[in-house]
Each structure stands twice: as structure tokens, then as C-alpha cells.
Structure 1
Amino acid sequence: MLSPKNLHAYPKFWPHKKGLVPAPLLPMSRKEMDELGWDCCDIIIVTGDAYVDHPSFGMAIIGRLLESQGFRVGIISQPDWHSADAFRQLGKPSLFFAVASGNMDSMVNHYTAEKRPRSDDAYTAGAMSGKRPDRATTVYTQRAKEAYKGIPVIIGGIEASLRRIAQYDHWSQTIRRSILPDSKADLLLFGNAERAVVEVAHRVAAGEDIKQITDIRGTAYMRQGIPEGWTVLDSSEIDADKSLVHPQTDPYADTSAKDKQGCGDKNNQTKPSKIDPNQGAVQV
């Protein structure tokens, strides 16, 4: 894996001398793009949150970071997922779509732990619920793929990060596979991913096939077959030798008897100090 690179060590993709200046707000419509003099966006971010240009909204941070690298970044906020039309509102990106469900996992956003629908959404204007689909990252990615075939789609955020490998799904009471084959995303960035997304953006801009970008830390991707030098182990065989498995400690076990064994002879114990209220002195 490649070592992290200084975020500001890259040459800007569109230098300021070519007329690209920071946008007052990341454009959300063709009209706003026209006002900036853009013929297209390099990267289009799709998010399940309302767009608020503030550090408390992760996609705003990522958008501004990519903008600082010289990319023209547009944002599609809470699109209508029932068709691909909403994903065409900014046109075709020259590099890729970047998709995230928002600041929260969409299922946690929609349901309580008892699987009851929530009545509000803290990341939507007016706290209105129902502005994003269940499993939003998967749905948005599929629609972006439908809108523009052949355009890479990168997924990230908390929903993609926690579902990058097989996981127990509370909502369906099943073990679900990685989000990658379900969403058909080309690349998954997990964690904060600010260094990874900048590296990916510059390499795709340089003409590198996103399918060949497999050496960046904090990324996950699908591949055919087992890599050379790797082996597959059945998880049921890993703990077959019980002598290698440490017994699980019961946090509620009564250990008072064991504690008393280590106290030693009571006659040799130091008496606790006490204060004489009349003299204010310490007696032993």
C-alpha cells in the first residue's frame, strides 16, 4: 500500500490562472454551474443529507477539500431515487460520482433499535423524514450507474465504511454480504478518507483506470479470484484448537472470594487511620 501523501503536495487539477475560483456554494443546478462558467463538473457528490456548507456535514467538507485541489465539484442533495432523472440534473461528471448516505447510516436514520420508524430526520430541512431511501448508498449508486453508464462511482461515509465486509444486519436479522457487490460501486473508501479521495481523484484525472487503483490505504474493492500468495481459511477452523482461545471473562462474576485470598494475615494488616475530632490529629 502507498504511504499517505501530503494533501497539498498535488498540483491543482484546474489552476486558478485558468479561471477556476472557489464557488460561494457548491453548485446544485445547471443554472448555478452556468453562473460559475462551468461546462461540466469533474466530480459530483451525491448525499442523503441536506446540503449545508458547514463542517458538521461531511460531504460539504469533502466537497470543499476536492475544490481546494482544483476540481469542479457539484453536489446532488437528497435526490428523488425513484428514477435516474434526478442524478442527471448536473450533467455527466468528467471523472466520477462520489456517493454517501450522509452523516448517519440510513437504516439508523430511519428506524429505532426496536425497528419503529422515526418521525424526524436531524439532517434534513425542517427535520422532515422520508427524504432518503433505506440503504441509501446502494440505491444512490445504482441510480448513478443507470444515469450515466461507464462513469465510475465511488462510495464512502459511515454506511459504506461499516458495511464494507460481511456483517450482521439487525434490520433483516441476517448476515449480509459486502455493500460493494450489492451497490456495484467501483471503489469504496472507508473512514475519514480525505487522503484517499484526493489520491483517487488525481489519479483518475491523470487517466488511470479506477479498476486498477488497488494500492491506496483505506480502500476496498471487488476482485476476481484469489490474489497470488493469498489463501482462504474457513472461519470455523480458526478456533478449532480451544487451547488457543482465551475464555471470555464474565464482567458480572463474583470475585470476592478470590480477592480475600490475596489479603494475607489479618494480624499483619495495617490499621486504617482515623481522625480524632477533639484534637484534629491522626491516630494510628
Structure 2
Amino acid sequence: MVEQTLPEAHSILSWPKYRSGLTPAPQLPMSRAEMNELGWDSCDIIIVTGDAYIDHPSFGMAVIGRVLETQGFRVGIIAQPDWKSAEAFRALGKPNLFFGVTAGNMDSMVNHYTSERRIRSDDAYTPDGVAGKRPDRAVTVYAQRCREAFKGIPVIIGSIEASLRRIAHYDYWSDTVRRSVLPDSKADMLVFGNAERQIIEIAHRLANGESINSMTDLRGTAIMRNSVPDGWHEVDSCELDTPGK
């Protein structure tokens, strides 16, 4: 239960452009060579995704990437990296601000398995429909590899996979109640829903020198806390609704 209100969300258009001279890229870079063509020595933000990169608004990573670009940030994409080591996550170098991690347009477990828990033979979000280009529980695996690739760089997770797992939840695939994806992924923050407003504010506040750990007032985000903050208190759900009634 909340005893205080969060501040009003900033308008997307209220932030000054971070790099005033940045022009839109023909496509967001996916390699050092493409960064060099744009004259970039580094990316401000790197988005890691379980989907192939298609620069179209039906792909969430493309929308978020282009929204951040309009705010003046250099955004790179690492699409369907080899998750067996951290090397693929170093392809664009160290991001100046943060890694953004998404499993893609689909939950990776739904992408991999049928409702009868049988392995699917194809993947609609991979070139030629090839299956197996992303791991199970991709958000968790990718976030851990980002952390391994560049220690100390904030890792922010999102997408439908993260959004639906931001709190303890029943997991159909293992038939257990699993905890939030945040501690398993070792991410600093989770953004849920469409997340344009949150991710823009996070990017600008990081660019202004604020620590990711101090951002505890953002709507549409989930973070881990060691204790209940002032002005808040815990409520046992059984006190709100008697089970079975």
C-alpha cells in the first residue's frame, strides 16, 4: 500500500536533446563498421534483443531505439547474440549510459514451446524462421551476459517477458511459483509496459550524472530494495482478500 504519491511523469517532449547535432541513422548500427560509417566512436545506449532487428514499428526494440535517437542518443542494436559467452555482447564496445535488454516481441518460452511443452520447429522473428537463435528465459540470460561483458554499466530489462515477471508469478513451464526476474537477471531496473516515458527519463538522468541506484521515483519501473522505504508499508495479501472467497 502506498502512503505517498510519485511525481508526475515528464512529457516526452520536455527534455532537451542530448546530442543536439545528432542526425537519424539510416538504420541503427549493429557492428563497429556501421558505427564508423556514422562517425561514432561509441554508443550511448545498446539494446540487446532476442528478435532479428527490423527497423519497423511492429518491433519494440526498433521503436524504443528510434525514440531514444530522437532524444539525441546514439543507439546501437545487438540482435540475437550468441549467449554462450559474453564476447558477442562486446560487439559495439562499452555503452556510455546503459544496456537495454529485451527478449523480443514474444516471451522466449512461448517462442520456444507449445502449450503442451513441445519444442517449436520455427521462429517467426528470425530470418528464414530458424529456431534456436535465442535462449530460454532470454531476458535473464542476456542481462547476465551484459553484466559480464562490462561490469559497472547499468542493465535495464524490459519487454513482455520482463513485464509479466516483475513480481512473483506462476511459471507454467516449470509448474512453480518463481520470484521476480530482477534478482535472477541481476539487472538494475525493470521497465514494464510500453516504457517510452520511463526509458527516456532514465537515459536523460543517467546522462546528467545521476546514479541508477538513486532512481526510485519512476513510474512504470520495478527495482529491488533491501528494506521498506519511508512512507511505504507492507500489507499481507491475505488481509485484503480471503483466499477462496
Scaled to the shorter chain, the TM-score interval is over 0.9
User: What is the aligned partner in structure 2 of residue 102 from structure 1?
Assistant: 104
TM-score when normalising by structure 1: 0.82
Aligned residues: 240
SS in 2 for 1:74: strand
Give the C-alpha shift of residue 9 in structure 1: 1.7
**Residue of structure 1 aligned with 2:23, choices 21, 24, 28:** 21
Q: Which amino acid aligns with 2:175?
A: Q
**Once the two structures are aligned, what percentage of the paired residues are identical?**
68
**Residue of structure 2 aligned with 1:2, choices 7, 14, 18:** 7
> CA–CA distance in 1 between the matches of 2:65 and 2:231?
38
- Map 1:95-134 to 2 at 5 A: 95-134=97-136
Give yes or no for the alignment of 1:187 onto 2:189.
yes
Q: Which amino acid aligns with 2:8?
A: S
Give the C-alpha shift of residue 2 in structure 1: 2.4
Give the C-alpha shift of residue 237 in structure 1: 4.4
User: What is the aligned partner in structure 1 of residue 143 from structure 2?
Assistant: 141
Give the C-alpha shift of residue 31 in structure 1: 0.5
Q: Which amino acid aligns with 1:180?
A: L
- Map 1:78-227 to 2 at 5 A: 78-227=80-229
> CA–CA distance in 1 between the matches of 2:14 and 2:238?
46
Give the C-alpha shift of residue 228 in structure 1: 2.4
> CA–CA distance in 1 between the matches of 2:124 and 2:58?
12
Deviations 1:182-207 (A, max 9, x none): 00100110000101100110000000
> CA–CA distance in 1 between the matches of 2:140 and 2:171?
15
SS in 2 for 1:32: helix
Give yes or no for the alignment of 1:52 onto 2:57.
no
Q: Which amino acid aligns with 2:166?
A: R
Greater shift after overlay, 196-205 or 6-15? 6-15
Give the C-alpha shift of residue 7 in structure 1: 1.2
Gap runs ≥5 in structure 1: 248-284
Higher RCO, 1 vs 2 (CA within 8 Å, ≥6 residues apart): 2
> CA–CA distance in 2 between the matches of 1:233 and 1:9?
36
Gap runs ≥5 in structure 2: 1-5
Q: 1:14 to 1:229 in 2, by over 3 A?
A: closer
> CA–CA distance in 1 between the matches of 2:86 and 2:110?
25
Q: Over aligned residues, Cα RMSD in angstroms?
A: 1.3
Give the C-alpha shift of residue 236 in structure 1: 3.8
TM-score when normalising by structure 2: 0.95
> CA–CA distance in 2 between the matches of 1:163 and 1:101?
12
SS in 2 for 1:80: coil
> CA–CA distance in 2 between the matches of 1:24 and 1:148?
27
> CA–CA distance in 2 between the matches of 1:34 and 1:162?
37
SS in 2 for 1:175: strand
> CA–CA distance in 2 between the matches of 1:58 and 1:237?
38
User: What is the aligned partner in structure 1 of residue 17 from structure 2?
Assistant: 12
